[in-house]
Chain A
Amino acid sequence: MAASDVKLLGARPSPFVNRVQVALNLKSIDYEFIPQNLAEKSELLLKSNPVHKKVPVLIHGDQPISESLVIVHYVDEVWSGPPSLLPADPYDRATARFWAAYIDEKWSPLVRNLINATDEQSKAAAAEKVFEGLKLLEDAFVNSSKGKGFFGGEKLGFLDVVLGCYLGWVRAGEIITGLKILDETKTAALVGWAERFTSNKAVDGVIPEPEELVSFMKMQARAAAAADASSK
């Protein structure tokens, strides 16, 4: 498969883009990464994802696919050889999809709230909610991994990719808040898992260092403040 056949429109700091990168790496698929300036969206991006105008967009041949979870399913189904990203059993697949939805719709907004909390009281309240969610994810990990190292068992799978790609932001959040979000005294299994995920070959070089993400967030906050000020 020629590298030009598979293109990924993305931006390095996006965990959603990172998911696709890791998925493609796990499947050993060559691809061309086309970095996007989200402040000034390219013709290609607007044409490929006219509905949401967001990254990631996978372009396979000339067919665009958007939405990170849709793309990961697509990658798993088109390049269906091993390793499989989704589990084989339908019930296990449903469980993985359930937790992916929970992580994206319920848990990650809690992390965002924590990172953006302005005073100590709301920070503590937000942290409590994040930890409650992590406890659920810890249980999910124990049930899903069945004693092995990943949600997917012996190897990285769908849910590892979904949650794992947030780890950069979780670490950035720890720097910003001064709190330990992944804490061995609270969620020991997830702490071990995070280590294994981050050091996996398929993840190497994909997720930016937390310090880079902290700078990125500060830059975004400044830009947002400037936009606010100029629109008043």
Chain B
Amino acid sequence: MGEEDRVILHGMWASTYVKRVELALKIKGIPFEYVEEDLSNKSALLLKYNPVQKKVPVLVHNGKPICESLVILEYIDETWPSHGLQLLPKDPYERARVRFWAAYIQQLLESMAKLFNPDHKEAQEKALEEMYEKQRILEEGMREFFPEESPNVHPEKLGILDIMIVSTLGAFRAQEEVLGVKTLDPEKNPLLFSWVEALIQLPVVKEIIPPFEKLVSLLQFIKQNGIRF
């Protein structure tokens, strides 16, 4: 490793999945080049690197592509083990718990995406119920991880769950602006709320959070036109 390492991230500025990878690379202090992809007009390079899914993020390490955000996160952790922090704990049972909840947070994201579907009112109600229920389960689950009231968020101790939480919930204010409902309620989910608030204060997170107005415009556009990424 060293001068020979060339790391390129193909992404899209608003993609939650891309943010996960950006954050992991920055947390581990891995230098990388970023290529913005136009998802309405996918580059030949993207299609070459990800012929199966044709999606971002794609991490290209010394010419070899890795796809799927959670797969990329584990790849980053395994390839640069001594760089900064370990994103996954060492103990196999703790690793299993982190992987379980990372997968659950992904399911939560999928519930949230349904809210931006411009369907009739009933589907919206149902989607909200589903999202709140998942948040409730997540809140309970995360209490196990944090015996104290709120997670102690340290730049030196960030891991996969921090990355998943901030990438999935960090833009809640922009979502609330567009949907006109609370997507992260401090009263229903005090632990998740305080965790997200602490994370979005971190300099490394501020570097990657999409600009508020720009994100609101995009979300409004998605909601009106029902575009799926």
A residues adjacent to B (C-beta < 8 A): 51, 60, 63, 65-67, 69-71, 73-74, 77-78, 90-91, 93-94, 97-98, 101-102, 136
Count residues of B near A (Cβ-Cβ below 8 Å). Answer: 24
Q: Which of B20-78 contact A (CB under 8 A)?
A: 52-53, 61, 64, 66-68, 70-72, 74-75, 78
Q: Do A90 and B52 touch across chains, with their CB atoms under 8 A apart?
A: no
Nearest B residue to A67, CB-CB:
B100
Given A94-B71, A98-B67, check contact A78 B92 (CB 8 Å).
Answer: yes
Nearest A residue to B90, CB-CB:
A77
Main secondary structure of the interface of A (DSSP, over half): helix
Give the Cβ gap from B53 to chain A, nearest Cβ, in Å. 8
Q: Which listed residue, A51, A65, A74, A101, touches B141 by the CB 8 Å rule?
A: A51
Q: Which of B62-111 contact A (CB under 8 A)?
A: 64, 66-68, 70-72, 74-75, 78-79, 92-93, 95-96, 99-100, 103-104
B residues near A102, Cβ cutoff 8 Å: 52-53
B residues near A51, Cβ cutoff 8 Å: 100, 104, 137, 141
B residues near A78, Cβ cutoff 8 Å: 92-93
Give the Cβ gap from B7 to chain A, nearest Cβ, in Å. 13
Instruction: Give A51 to B138 CA distance when docked, in angstroms.
Output: 9
Q: Which listed residue, B53, B68, B92, touches A74 by the CB 8 Å rule?
A: B92
Q: Do B75 and A94 touch across chains, with their CB atoms under 8 A apart?
A: yes
Q: Do B93 and A63 touch across chains, with their CB atoms under 8 A apart?
A: yes
Instruction: Give A102 to B52 CA distance when docked, in angstroms.
Output: 9
Q: Which listed residue, B53, B68, B96, touches A70 by the CB 8 Å rule?
A: B96
Given A51-B104, A98-B68, A98-B71, check contact A65 B78 (CB 8 Å).
Answer: no
Given A51-B137, A63-B93, A74-B95, check contact A93 B103 (CB 8 Å).
Answer: no
Nearest B residue to A66, CB-CB:
B100
B residues near A97, Cβ cutoff 8 Å: 68, 70-71, 74
Q: Which listed residue, A73, A91, A101, A136, touches B96 by the CB 8 Å rule?
A: A73
Some 20 contacts from A to B, beta carbons below 8 A apart, are A51-B104, A63-B93, A65-B93, A66-B100, A67-B100, A70-B99, A70-B103, A90-B78, A91-B61, A91-B64, A91-B66, A94-B74, A97-B71, A98-B66, A98-B67, A98-B71, A101-B68, A102-B52, A102-B53, A136-B52
Give the Cβ gap from B92 to chain A, nearest Cβ, in Å. 4
Given A51-B137, A67-B100, check contact A93 B74 (CB 8 Å).
Answer: yes
A residues near B92, Cβ cutoff 8 Å: 74, 77-78
Q: Do A93 and B52 touch across chains, with their CB atoms under 8 A apart?
A: no
B residues near A98, Cβ cutoff 8 Å: 66-68, 71
Nearest B residue to A78, CB-CB:
B92
Nearest A residue to B76, CB-CB:
A90
Give the Cβ gap from A52 to chain B, nearest Cβ, in Å. 9
Given A73-B95, A74-B93, A98-B68, check contact A93 B75 (CB 8 Å).
Answer: yes
Q: Which listed residue, B71, B78, B95, B100, touches A101 by the CB 8 Å rule?
A: B71
B residues near A69, Cβ cutoff 8 Å: 99
Instruction: Give A77 to B70 CA distance when docked, in angstroms.
Output: 18
Q: Do A73 and B99 touch across chains, with their CB atoms under 8 A apart?
A: yes
Instruction: Give A71 to B103 CA distance when docked, in angstroms.
Output: 13
Q: Which listed residue, B70, B79, B99, B137, touches A90 by the CB 8 Å rule?
A: B79
Instruction: Give A63 to B70 CA distance when docked, in angstroms.
Output: 24
A residues near B52, Cβ cutoff 8 Å: 102, 136
